[in-house]
Structure 1
Amino acid sequence: MRVDRLSSIAAQFDGVLLDQFGVLHDGRALYPGALEVLEGLKAADTPVAILTNSGKRTAANRERLLAMGIPRDTFTDVVTSGELAYHALMVGFETTGRAPYAFIVGTPGEDYGFDLVPTVDDPREADVLLFLGSDAPRTSLDAYRARLAGVRAPAICCNPDRWRITREGLQPGAGAIAELYEQMGGQVTWVGKPYPEIYLNACSELGGAARVLCIGDSAEHDVAGGRAAGLATMLVMTGVSAGLDGERVEPRPDYWMERLRW
């Protein structure tokens, strides 16, 4: 069902899980109308948790949103796939008494917040591969294939998004590199949307809300994950869905909008 404004259906829900990249902002600046949506939901006393496939941990994502001008009192917190993956690694460390040596796949120089995880520069020496981000288009999928050839370490994909928004347009994301590694015979554990655990964590930020709406720009992740969790879904035709027909996407969302608007 197409809707023009979120305010037209907001009263049906008592909690919202809201994606950030491609919905609230493009990685550099807020989209027009994004702030009004958050302020409208706050005025309606509807709690909002930001739910994101980001290899970075919660604190970095929270600070990014604040730096873009989003007031801290318009969302309960940010739930990230990177935070879940980091805590899983720490639980493993507490169990074994030894942190695994990791090879990190991501953007060079980017701080993902995995500072307590020891790293190696050669993936063949790693106990685990961490797919946190992507250096595309500077590093192609063929280059990643060559780099990972012969590697047998298990991997954790901390950001299942196969596409990411860049200045050069949509480029392969961490999910695409992890998928490539699987095709090469690697074992990958996926953390984030559309998988169930992250929805349990995100819903815990909504104060027991029973009627929850998931809003995102990816049918593959936001709609599929929300539906699997038994939640209502809305697809916004920006970000990775820009240019697509909301009536034809699969899986079908309960609602869709051309852009996020209150």
Structure 2
Amino acid sequence: MTQIVTHLHEISDGYQALFVDLWGCVHNGVQAFPDAVTALQAYRKRGGIVVLVTNSPKPRAGVAVQLETFGVPKDAYDTIATSGDSARAAMFTGAVGEKVYFMGEWRRDEDFFKPLEVIANPVEITRVPLQEAEGIICCGPFDPMADPSVNRSDFLYAKTKGMKLLCANPDIVVDRGETREWCAGALAKLYTEMGGESLYFGKPHPPIYDLARRRLMALGMDIPDSAILAIGDGVLTDIAGAVGEDIDSLFISGGLAASETKTGYSPDPDALSNYLSKENSSPTFTIGQLR
């Protein structure tokens, strides 16, 4: 049974590092949550390390710029690990071929195709129409408000050609302010259900956690998993990933599942229990909002 807490500091001193989700925890896709920022700043002042672990398809430099525009100050975190960086590494090693069909918003996602210096002898990636592609790079839907099923005909063609779909963001949905949008994970899920092969690199899958640990090592921090707390509002991504990595977790019930858990300042215990049971999820701790 999860333990409900009201403030991060009630439990955080038992951990040397935090793996913190961004969307729904630190910001809402429009602006930062002041209480969350304050909590992370306070944790760092007490000596803790904050790694922002996000399913954003952006490289970490792009996420850092985005955070600044949202009002998340640099003293609220130490480093960033993104699904985009994990997926880019796979792309440049040829995971889905050299000629790829791109799905997403090019103006937002073009940095995904910038070379990675850490990859030795990277393959040369060329964006081509679907009919000429060897595989698919999916950073998100063309229209985040359109039902994923609009891609069914293209996916049927891709499946018959044996194309793999590289998913740069496993999230199914995200709330941008008050608007819920589809993410790349919804498209990858549909492709898999249709019999295609989707490759995942963000939460809850291992590559992004390996990257987060490497980011810690780059800071000179060799921290065991038992001293890491993962924080997030997605039971299928943040919490499932933490459980899979044997890392303790703090579920933000006031994010994606706010209505299901009847979260005001804190979740309703019965509603929370019913929700977690339905989702077969077992976070170590639960809090209404990161504060």
Q: Contact 1:76–1:205 (CA<8 Å) still a contact in 2?
A: no
Distance 1:15 1:191, change over 3 A: same
Query: CA offset at residue 233 of structure 1?
Result: 0.4
Distance 1:32 1:168, change over 3 A: closer
Q: Is structure 2 residue 169 aligned with structure 1 residue 159? A: yes
Give 3-state SS (helix, strand or coil) of 2:137's partner: strand
- In the TM superposition, what are the counterparts of 1:29-48 in structure 2 within 5 Å? 29-48=31-50
Higher helix share: 2
Aligned to 1:87: 89
Aligned to 1:142: 149
Distance 1:141 1:24, change over 3 A: same
Report sequence identity in percent: 27
In 1, Cα distance between the equivalents of 2:176 and 2:30?
10
Give 3-state SS (helix, strand or coil) of 1:185's partner: coil
Q: Residues 200-242 of structure 1, C-alpha deviation per residue, up to 9 Å, x if partnerless?
A: 2212333122300000000111111011111100100133222
Query: CA offset at residue 165 of structure 1?
Result: 1.7
Query: CA offset at residue 167 of structure 1?
Result: 5.2
Give 3-state SS (helix, strand or coil) of 2:86's partner: helix
Q: Residues 35-71 of structure 1, C-alpha deviation per residue, up to 9 Å, x if partnerless?
A: 1012111111100000011111111111111222323
Query: CA offset at residue 145 of structure 1?
Result: 1.2
Task: Structure 1: state its 5+ residue gaps.
Answer: 94-98
Aligned to 1:181: 191
Q: Residues 74-130 of structure 1, C-alpha deviation per residue, up to 9 Å, x if partnerless?
A: 32211011111111222339xxxxx7121111235323413343212x222211101
Aligned to 1:109: 107
Aligned to 2:281: 251
In 2, Cα distance between the equivalents of 1:158 and 1:83?
9
Aligned to 1:22: 24
Query: CA offset at residue 138 of structure 1?
Result: 4.2
The correspondence for 1:66, drawn from 65, 68, 74, is 68
Give 3-state SS (helix, strand or coil) of 2:289's partner: coil
Q: Contact 2:239–2:249 (CA<8 Å) still a contact in 1?
A: yes
Greater shift in the superposed pair: 226-235 or 151-160 = 151-160
Q: Which amino acid aligns with 1:209?
A: I
In 1, Cα distance between the equivalents of 2:182 and 2:287?
25
Paired residues in the alignment total 256
Give 3-state SS (helix, strand or coil) of 2:192's partner: helix
Q: Contact 2:83–2:202 (CA<8 Å) still a contact in 1?
A: yes
Distance 1:169 1:68, change over 3 A: closer
Q: Contact 1:112–1:132 (CA<8 Å) still a contact in 2?
A: no
Q: Which amino acid aligns with 1:115?
A: F
In 2, Cα distance between the equivalents of 1:198 and 1:115?
18
Q: Which amino acid aligns with 2:232?
A: G
The correspondence for 1:54, drawn from 53, 56, 70, is 56
Give 3-state SS (helix, strand or coil) of 1:102's partner: strand
Q: Is structure 2 residue 210 aligned with structure 1 residue 194? A: no
Task: Structure 2: state its 5+ residue gaps.
Answer: 115-124, 262-271
Query: Structure 1-normalised TM-score?
Result: 0.90
Query: CA offset at residue 146 of structure 1?
Result: 2.7
Give 3-state SS (helix, strand or coil) of 2:109's partner: coil
Q: C-alpha root-mean-square deviation of aligned residues, in Å?
A: 2.0
Greater shift in the superposed pair: 170-179 or 77-86 = 170-179
Aligned to 2:131: 124
Give 3-state SS (helix, strand or coil) of 2:107's partner: coil
Q: Which amino acid aligns with 1:158?
A: A
Q: Is structure 2 residue 240 aligned with structure 1 residue 214? A: no
